[in-house]
Amino acid sequence: MIVKAINPPWLGLKFVEEIRIWEEVYSISNILKHALINALPQPIRATYY
């Protein structure tokens, strides 16, 4: 958020869009990570939670 304060207002919107894209990417990778953990055998799974 500090970067947004430094940026001029016309760059702010692009920055917010980029954050939104990265949030989507992060949530997708999070879903994939959980799917991977759920696919693991039970004993290994216990160590991840």
pLDDT tens series, the chain, 49 aa:
455 555 566 666 677 778 788 888 888 888 888 888 788 777 766 665 5
| pTM for the model | 0.41
- Answer whether 4's CB lies under 8 Å from 16's CB: yes
Q: Output the pLDDT for position 1.
A: 47
Nearest to 1, CA basis, from 11, 15, 14, 21: 15
Tell me the C-alpha distance between 22 and 25, whole Å.
5
Q: Output the pLDDT for position 40.
A: 76
Q: Output the pLDDT for position 47.
A: 65
Beta carbons within 8 Å of 38's beta carbon, 6+ residues apart: 45
Beta carbons within 8 Å of 27's beta carbon, 6+ residues apart: none
